[in-house]
């Protein structure tokens, strides 16, 4: 799989939700969960799950934007669409009709955050335990405030990104923040410079 098929997301530091998403040579500002990036994500922790995941489909508000030509399956969001976030439900981490007997997040929102949504294939094949639900790429607030676990972009950037992703694209969320990764690379480079074959 080439770098052009891997959307890499990495926070700037452990102290911020701000980060960057890269796809090949392209780069966009983004924000991640207020709970940080975690390998042990659970429902309700506001963390973005670390790891590599497929991108499933697109949902969008056709009353608010014109969807560009995309390669993932796409459909408009309806007023009664929701996403089940109740681990006890047989429809956990699935699109559902709301209201119903289970807890669900409304997809039809007034704040515009879900005007464009890409569903991340996290804990969905099949959904298990309480490992988290409703992990999306979606529109960020103007101040790039932390999400509840999703990866969010400006409206302009997400509209630029969605035509570039397809069924072969994978989202890779890195645990190590960019500042720590840079420090690690510098330390490794220094160790190589200091390496003396006579000491081996």
Q: What is the pLDDT of residues 118-130, one digit of tens each?
A: 999 999 999 999 9
In the structure, what pLDDT confidence band is assigned to residue 39 with cuts at 50, 70 and 90? very high
Look at residue 109 in the predicted model and tell me its pLDDT.
97
Q: What is the pLDDT of residues 41-74, one digit of tens each?
A: 999 999 999 999 999 999 999 999 999 999 999 9
Is the separation of the CB atoms in 139 and 152 below 8 Å? yes
Is the separation of the CB atoms in 135 and 120 below 8 Å? yes
- Is the pLDDT at 193 greater than 80? The verdict is no
Is the separation of the CB atoms in 169 and 123 below 8 Å? no
Counting beta carbons within 10 angstroms of the beta carbon of residue 71, is it exposed (0 to 12), middle (13 to 18) or buried (19 or more)?
Answer: middle
- Region 127-148: what's the mean pLDDT? 97
How many CB atoms neighbour CB 10 within 10 A?
21
Q: What is the pLDDT of residues 6-34, one digit of tens each?
A: 999 999 999 999 999 999 999 999 999 99
Q: Interior CA angle at 112 toward 106 and 118, to 5°? A: 70
The b/e string for 138-164 (b: 16+ C-beta within 10 A; e otherwise) is bbbeeebebbbbbbbbbbebbbebbeb
Distance (Å, whole) CA 157 – CA 22 = 12
Look at residue 180 in the predicted model and tell me its pLDDT.
85
Is the separation of the CB atoms in 150 and 134 below 8 Å? yes
Look at residue 4 in the predicted model and tell me its pLDDT.
81
Predicted TM-score (pTM) of the model is 0.90
Pick from 101, 173, 170, 168: which is nearest to 132 by CA? 173
Q: What is the pLDDT of residues 151-174, one digit of tens each?
A: 999 999 999 999 999 999 999 999
Look at residue 3 in the predicted model and tell me its pLDDT.
74
Domain annotation for the chain: domains and CATH numbers = 3-199 (2.40.440.10)
Pick from 115, 156, 160: which is nearest to 136 by CA? 115
């Amino acid at each position: 799989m080439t770098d052009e098929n891997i959307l890499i997301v990495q926070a700037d530091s452990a102290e911020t939700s701000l980060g960057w998403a890269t796809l090949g040579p392209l780069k966009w500002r983004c924000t991640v969960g207020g709970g940080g990036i975690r390998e042990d994500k659970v429902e309700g922790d506001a963390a973005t799950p670390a790891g590599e995941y497929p991108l499933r489909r697109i949902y969008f508000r056709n009353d608010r934007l014109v969807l560009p030509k995309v390669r993932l399956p796409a459909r408009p969001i309806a007023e009664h669409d929701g996403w089940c976030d109740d681990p006890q439900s047989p429809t956990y981490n699935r699109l559902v009709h709301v209201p119903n007997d289970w807890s669900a997040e409304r997809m039809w929102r007034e704040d515009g955050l879900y005007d464009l949504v890409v569903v991340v294939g996290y804990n969905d094949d099949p959904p298990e335990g309480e490992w988290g639900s409703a992990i999306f790429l979606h529109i960020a607030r103007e101040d790039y405030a932390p999400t509840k676990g999703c990866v969010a972009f400006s409206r302009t950037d997400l509209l630029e990104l969605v035509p570039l992703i397809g069924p072969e694209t994978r989202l890779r969320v890195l645990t190590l923040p960019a500042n720590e990764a840079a420090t690690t690379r510098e330390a490794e480079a220094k160790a190589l410079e200091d390496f003396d074959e006579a000491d081996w």
